[in-house]
Amino acid sequence: MNVQNLMNLSRQNSMKSHNTFVKVRYAETDQMGVVHHGNYAEYLEIARLDWLSALGISYKSMEEEGVMLPVYELHFKFIKSAFFDDELRIETSLVKTPSVKIEFNYEVYNQDNQLLTTANTVLVFMNTKSRRPMKCPDYILQKLTV
């Protein structure tokens, strides 16, 4: 494999995986200072939007163009607790090339690089007017192959 192919492969892989950082706020914790499990869905949403933004895609613009991405499946495995004031790193990885669905895996780490949570989401591309599933827009597929 030549240098140009390696550079393209590296750039492509970096586009499919992205790190997002979230600081745990006091309101997200229970009386013991542990992050309530319900907050993790929001953390994943922050990470997905950041992943899109890193590709140069605005979710707001997607919606304005008639595309929305409702969550179809959401799975968590809670390994260790996150606590108030932790600096979380959420690694978001695209599982495969999107079609009508787009699937992500997530790993949530604390500031000590301890794996806290793994997760998976499946979202469906949906036309905002018809409320029917649709194919992944070409401009997203193009960004993934650059």
Per-residue pLDDT at 1: 36
Contact 118, 142 (CB under 8 A): no
Position 123 confidence tier, pLDDT thresholds 50, 70, 90: very high
Q: Distance between CA 41 and CA 78 in Å, rounded?
A: 12
Helix spans in the chain (H): 3-16, 39-54, 59-64, 138-145
CATH number at residue 93: 3.10.129.10
Phi, psi angles (nearest 5°) of residue 58 = -95, 125
Q: Distance between CA 107 and CA 113 in Å, rounded?
A: 11
Range of the domain at 15: 3-145
Taken as a whole, the chain contains a residue count of 146
Q: How many structural domains compose the chain?
A: 1
Position 145 confidence tier, pLDDT thresholds 50, 70, 90: confident
pTM for the model stands at: 0.87
Per-residue pLDDT at 57: 94
Q: Distance between CA 39 and CA 22 in Å, rounded?
A: 12
Chain segment 103-118, per-residue pLDDT in tens: 999 999 999 999 999 9
Position 79 confidence tier, pLDDT thresholds 50, 70, 90: very high
Q: Which of 114, 110, 117 is nearest to 89 (CA)?
A: 110
